[in-house]
């Protein structure tokens, strides 16, 4: 059964999360450098079936674009070109980094783990995916 893969795109790091095959649970997958994300996705898709990508879209509280929005839009364009048969869904990513940090604190993560930005990125991707699944009734 195919999975859904979420992407929290940043110009330095990209957090990735994926559903289980039954689409019940969203789990952190990995954090990769932004220049390596397409190679990572191609390799991942060689062994796993993905039915859709969910990309976190950065917007301000007022709904306006952020400084990172153009970078994410460029990434989405490349993603659609590279994987034309896999639909791409955009999902609001407001507060996901804060929520990820709060989740790490609540889960008892050490300060060292919380300082590792890659951990926050993949947990943010997991939150984006979980939110998308809830919105879609999955």
pLDDT tens profile 80-118: 999 999 999 998 876 565 555 565 566 666 555 545 555
Quick one: tokens of 125? Answer: 């991707």
* Continuous segment of H or E residues that includes residue 46: helix 37-47
Instruction: Please give the CATH number for the structural domain made up of 3-136.
Output: 3.30.420.140
Between CA 100 and CA 125 the distance in angstroms is 9
Report pLDDT digits (tens) over 30-74.
999 999 999 999 999 999 999 999 999 887 777 777 788 889 999
Between CA 71 and CA 87 the distance in angstroms is 19
């Amino acid at each position: 059964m195919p999975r859904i893969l979420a992407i929290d795109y940043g110009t330095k790091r990209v957090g990735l999360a994926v559903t289980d095959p039954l689409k019940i649970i969203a789990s952190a997958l990995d954090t990769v450098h932004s220049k390596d994300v397409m190679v990572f996705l191609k390799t991942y898709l060689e062994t796993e079936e993905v039915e859709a990508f969910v990309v976190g879209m950065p917007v301000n509280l007022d709904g306006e674009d952020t400084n990172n929005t153009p970078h994410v839009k460029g990434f989405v364009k490349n993603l659609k070109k590279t994987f034309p048969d896999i639909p791409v869904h955009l999902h609001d990513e407001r507060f996901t980094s804060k929520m990820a940090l709060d989740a790490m604190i609540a889960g008892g993560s050490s300060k060292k783990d919380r300082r590792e930005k890659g951990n926050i990125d993949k947990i943010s991707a997991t939150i984006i995916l979980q939110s998308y699944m809830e919105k879609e009734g999955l």
